[in-house]
């Protein structure tokens, strides 16, 4: 899809392909697109978000931002390659672990990354980070950390487990998607301060 065609088709509705069929990921991306475009546009606009098959995540959690971003990019690019021209946006989103602090005693955090690809460019966004309690990791080596982080897909994932359900994977994907869209459309789709306040 060429840039001009992208803007013309965007006037009638937004079509989004999401890598992977996880319901919470799909709904989080949908929520992010709805929230972002409702705040940016003065008229109703239909938004269709379709899950597309993508490669399954390798066993074990990525333990650096670089690893998770590389994995997310591969998924996003594979969907874009397969469905080029069919959608306005191609989105991949997934969670992982990242570290901060000194090498001898790093702090471990969980967060979600989202990549939005489109004819007008690409942009990344992430959710907030939740620290993995140190007592869960005492005595573990760096390579054992991914297996000690609590949470399963059925229970809402790592973030839901660490926050007792106050934050969910769906919400983390939504926030990461909004952040990516905000970067992608910065300076292109403006918003009045009083209108923005309504969506906070």
Does 180 map to a domain? yes
What is the domain extent for residue 176?
A: 3-129+169-197
Does 163 map to a domain? no
- What CATH number corresponds to the domain at position 100? 3.90.950
Report how many domains make up the chain: 1
pLDDT, one tens digit for every residue, the chain (200 residues)? 667 777 777 777 899 999 987 888 999 999 999 999 888 877 778 899 999 987 766 666 677 889 889 999 999 999 999 998 889 999 999 988 888 877 777 788 889 999 999 999 999 999 998 888 877 766 666 566 666 565 555 556 777 778 888 888 899 999 999 999 999 999 887 654 444 434 33
Q: Are 115 and 124 in contact (CB under 8 A)?
A: yes
Q: For residue 147, what is the DSSP state?
A: G
Does 152 map to a domain? no
> From the centroid of its chain, how far is CA 20?
12
Residue 145: what pLDDT?
A: 60
Does 89 map to a domain? yes
Does 76 map to a domain? yes
Q: Are 122 and 95 in contact (CB under 8 A)?
A: no
Does 114 map to a domain? yes
> From the centroid of its chain, how far is CA 104?
30
């Amino acid at each position: 899809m060429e840039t001009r065609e992208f803007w013309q088709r965007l006037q009638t509705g937004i079509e989004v392909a999401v890598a992977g069929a996880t319901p919470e990921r799909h709904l989080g991306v949908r929520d992010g697109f709805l929230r972002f475009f409702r705040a940016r546009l003065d008229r109703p606009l239909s938004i269709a978000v379709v899950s597309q098959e993508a490669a399954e995540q390798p066993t074990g959690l990525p333990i650096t931002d670089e690893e998770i971003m590389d994995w997310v990019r591969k998924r996003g690019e594979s969907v874009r390659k397969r469905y080029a021209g069919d959608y306005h946006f191609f989105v991949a989103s997934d969670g992982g672990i990242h570290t901060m602090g000194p090498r001898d005693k790093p702090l471990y955090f969980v967060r979600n990354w989202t990549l939005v690809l489109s004819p007008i460019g690409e942009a990344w966004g992430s959710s907030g980070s939740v620290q993995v309690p140190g007592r869960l990791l005492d005595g573990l080596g760096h390579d054992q950390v991914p297996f000690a982080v609590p949470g399963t897909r059925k229970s809402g994932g790592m973030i839901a487990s660490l926050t007792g359900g106050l934050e969910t994977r769906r919400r983390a994907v939504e926030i990461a998607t909004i952040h990516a869209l905000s970067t992608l459309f910065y300076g292109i789709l403006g918003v009045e301060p009083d209108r923005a306040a309504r969506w906070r």
